[in-house]
Amino acid sequence: MLITFVIILAFYLAFNLGANDVANAMGTSVGSKAITLKQALIVAGVLEFAGAALFGREVTETLSTNVANPELFANSPQSLITGMISVLIACGLWLQIATARGLPVSSSHAVVGAIAGFSGVALGGKAIAWSSIGTITVGWVLTPVISGIIAALFYSQIQRWILQQPNQLTQLNEWIPWLSTALIGAFGVIVLPTLTQPITELLGDKLGIQIPQHDISLLIGGLVVFGLTVSGWQQLKVTESENNLEKPAIENPIERLFARYQVLSACFVAFAHGSNDVGNAIAPLATIIYTIKNHAVPTAGIEIPLWIMLIGAMGIVTGLAILGKKVIATIGESIITLQPSSGFCAELATATTILLASRFGLPVSTSHALVGGVVGIGLVKDFKSIQFSTLKGIAAAWVITLPASAGLSAVIFSLIRWIGF
């Protein structure tokens, strides 16, 4: 009965995470009209799960064992279970409130704040791993800065060498291999070491030698980039007969080609989001299941069953489909006007930043990274085009999220304990 109740709460949190966090992850693609909401749903459904399954364990482990001091709950595992139930309820409620107002808040802020909130009530300040929270906080501050810098640098080069050239079509055709290399290369450098580890181990066992993992990663990455570039070059090339630069952005042949790239970068963002933020939905559930099953709290590694990840993935896609439109509109339309070329740069910067954080097990914010990337584009494009009133509302939601979720979690934990659960 308890497990069923907890699973429903985890789905509720995943639902609201999908409505808010996945919506802002896909907002630039839908806002620039590179993909439709239906296509965003398909992309999110497949790649959010892939990112969570292949790359999400480090972040889930961090949230499960490194925010509260698990050793202090060793003699009272029931308190940890009650606390994690409080986290599921508090974070789900806060994300639902934010989504109703169209505010892209951070589920990472919410989960970390909620875990700290119940831990403080349960065992006092000593139960909170302040050093881990300090490291996570630094990641939150740096995330939009790093993403903004990457997006600004990349977009400034696209502007200089393509969009501001007298013959944009010729320039773009020359840059197609380099854009492909940048997109696939960034993905490969960060992700391939994890994906190629089984291949490396298998070959090493068969040949009886130790093969450096980075060699396999570079080889596969090089083959992928070369194959995509050669096979796709002719299909992606734009001809002069298509040239009509006075048409609206998505009908413009330059932007139409960038829209194709943005579909790929949207996949990149969905995978990155799955690798980092899905842990926010499933970490409390995984902790509860582990504690019930083993009659002990997790103190180091924690195994994430496949069915738990499925619950997270299904909840996320359902939330995006039903409630995601408001947050998509905020990110995609209310900060600056995006075209596929600028949206592509913002997404590439976001995914790179988030996947790097996932490699280090840091639960950073996709909304921070994406907003940072969009603002970076705005600084290069036109400083006056940035809607600072929207940014103020988003920033206020970011600041409020952590204490609000901590307070909610503390109150809910106290109530549950008071009624004798």
Burial 148-166 (b: 16+ CB within 10 A, else e): bbbbbebbbebbeebbeee
| 5-9, 29-33, 51-55, 416-420: least confident range | 51-55
Higher pLDDT, 290 or 367: 290
pLDDT at 383: 74
Short-list 153, 141, 145, CA closest to 186: 153
- 189 exposure class (CB count in 10 Å sphere: 0-12, 13-18, 19+): middle
- What tens digit of pLDDT does each residue of 208-249 get? 554 444 444 444 444 444 444 444 444 444 444 444 444 444
The mean pLDDT value for 37-62 works out to 70
Q: What pLDDT is attached to residue 173?
A: 77
Angle (CA) 416-419-421 rounded to 5° is 60
* φ and ψ of 295, to 5 deg: 55, 35
- Whether pLDDT at 331 is above 80: no
Say what the pLDDT of residue 7 is.
93
In this predicted structure, the answer to whether residue 367 has a pLDDT above a threshold of 70 is yes
pLDDT of residue 156: 92
pLDDT for the residue 336? 64
DSSP lists the bridge partners of residue 68 as 128
Angle, to 10 degrees, between the axis of helix 278-294 and the axis of helix 253-276?
A: 20
Decide if pLDDT at 161 tops 80.
Answer: yes
The contacts of residue 416 (CB under 8 Å, 6+ apart) are: 82, 85, 86
Instruction: Please state which of the ranges 10-19, 150-159, 201-210, 217-226 shows the lowest mean pLDDT.
Output: 217-226
The 10s digit of each residue's pLDDT in 170-204 is 887 788 777 777 777 666 655 555 554 544 454 45
Query: Does residue 335 have a pLDDT over 70?
Result: no
Going from N- to C-terminal start, the domains of the chain cover 2-168+251-418
The residue ranking higher by pLDDT, 395 or 299, is 395
CA–CA separation, 131 and 143 (whole Å): 18
| Rounded alpha-carbon distances, angstroms, from residue 387 to 205, 223, 331, 367 | 57, 42, 11, 16
Rounded Cα gap, residues 272 and 191, in angstroms: 9
pLDDT band at 57 (very low <50, low <70, confident <90, very high): low
Is residue 38 within 8 Å of residue 29, measured between CB atoms? no
CA–CA separation, 310 and 418 (whole Å) = 33
Torsion angles phi and psi, residue 69, rounded to 5: -80, 100
Q: Residue 419: is its pLDDT beyond 70?
A: yes
Residue 382 and residue 361: Cα distance in Å, rounded?
35
Residues in the chain: 421
Query: For 84-135, how does the pLDDT look when each residue is reduced to its tens digit (9 = 90+)?
Result: 999 999 999 998 888 887 777 777 788 888 988 988 888 887 777 777 777 7
Q: Would you say residue 275 has pLDDT above 80?
A: no
Tell me the three state secondary structure of residue 238. Answer: coil
